[in-house]
Amino acid sequence: MLKLIDVRKIYTTKVGDVAAMDGITVEFPDNGMIFINGKSGSGKTTLLNVVGGLDGFDSGEIIIDGKNFSTFTDSDYDSYRNTFVGFVFQEYNLLPDYTVGKNIQIANELQGKETSKERLKEMMAEFDIAGLENRKISELSGGQKQRVAIVRSLVKDPKIIMADEPTGALDSVTSVQIMELIREIAGERLVIMVTHNPELAEQYSTRIVKLQDGLVVSDSNPYDSSMEKEEVKIKTETEFLSEARQENTPQNKIKRKTKKEKKIKTSMSFKTALGLSGRNLQAKKGRTFVTSFAGSIGIISVCLVLALSNG
């Protein structure tokens, strides 16, 4: 679903250029939980920001659902950010003086949509923050804040969730709880998560992509959509062969023969029927002739009798 080809992003600073992305080629499937790790400064946040459309890039290609970023207009970018991707940040990015409810609804409100009260209640219960709608963000614990941030990212039902160290500010017990919740949501969407914690990555991810100096230096389970197509092709060929083999089993040969015989029999009976109807027609012709001959004689004799009697 998401493909990066040789993507580069250079930050120009007073002390020189920094290649935050130095030619990254990587592909992600439709769902699953994929971890991005690497040392501080290796380009993890930049990767998320660029892929999420929050930041631009200098060269290379990014293809999302078959559409190339290079063809995106400003409004395409807006709708991509607002509907396609959801962000969960380390610092939560919540508005501290607003209520939990307001913070969650804001994602949809920005698009002029309204979150139904039932949906909001349902999601909050699912993420174990039921009843906190009217509480201010500043009155919550770290774990609660992160749950609010996750619900906020999910409320617009995005296809991709990008999470930048979502457990970075949490204790280990809360981190595990948050990871469990995120793993659940990764069943039906793609979650790209940056983490510093290698243990959590090992335990929860289906794949770990490691970055170093703006480059992918290892990938535990690379994904290649073109391989998937190849597999389908091979599968079809195999299916085709096995079907062909099935067709040539002795049983099927007998079946085919019976079919053929039946066909011939049917056509013969048709011919017979045709012949019979032909004979019928001929017999009818004969009968018609006799009938009309007899009729004519009758008329002629009546005429003769009339002529003779008048004469």
Between the two ends of the chain, the Cα-to-Cα distance in Å is 111
Q: Could you say which of Mg ion, ligand ADP, none residue 46 binds, taking C-beta under 5 to 8 angstroms by partner kind?
A: ligand ADP
Provide, rounded to whole angstroms, the least separation between the CB of residue 138 and ligand ADP.
27
The site for Mg ion, by CB under 5 A, has a size of: 2
Selected from 28, 36, 43, 45, the binder of Mg ion by CB under 5 A is 45
Output 47 or 120, the one with its CB closest to ligand ADP.
47
Coil, helix or strand for 155? coil
Exposed e or buried b per residue across 132-144, where buried means at least 16 C-beta atoms within 10 angstroms of its C-beta: bbeeebeebebbb
Q: Is 40 in the site for ligand ADP (CB under 6 A)?
A: yes
Provide, rounded to whole angstroms, the least separation between the CB of residue 177 and ligand ADP.
24
Output 113 or 196, the one with its CB closest to ligand ADP.
196
What backbone phi and psi angles, to 5 degrees, belong to 129? -130, 30
CB burial of residue 72 (10 Å; 0-12, 13-18, 19+): middle
Taking CB under 6 A as the binding criterion, the range among 42-50, 87-95, 132-140, 175-183 that sits at the site for ligand ADP is 42-50
Give the DSSP H/E element, type plus range, for residue 242.
Answer: helix 225-247
SS (H, E, C) 74-97: HHHHHHHHHHHEEEECCCCCCCCC
The Cβ of residue 293 has, within 10 Å, a number of other Cβ atoms equal to: 10
Rounded Cα distance between 225 and 207, Å, is 15
Q: Could you say which of Mg ion, ligand ADP, none residue 40 binds, taking C-beta under 5 to 8 angstroms by partner kind?
A: ligand ADP
Selected from 7, 32, 34, 42, the binder of ligand ADP by CB under 6 A is 42
Q: Is 168 in the site for ligand ADP (CB under 6 A)?
A: no
Q: Is 41 in the site for ligand ADP (CB under 6 A)?
A: yes
In this structure, are residues 29 and 186 in contact, taking their beta carbons and an 8 Å threshold?
Answer: no
- x/- map, 44-83, ligand ADP, by CB under 6 A: xxx-------------------------------------
- x/- map, 1-30, ligand ADP, by CB under 6 A: ----------x-x----x-x----------
Exposed e or buried b per residue across 182-218, where buried means at least 16 C-beta atoms within 10 angstroms of its C-beta: bbebbeebbbbbbbebeebbeebbbbbbbbeebbbee
Provide, rounded to whole angstroms, the least separation between the CB of residue 115 and ligand ADP.
31
Output 11 or 289, the one with its CB closest to ligand ADP.
11
Binding site for ligand ADP (CB under 6 A): 11, 13, 18, 20, 38, 40-46
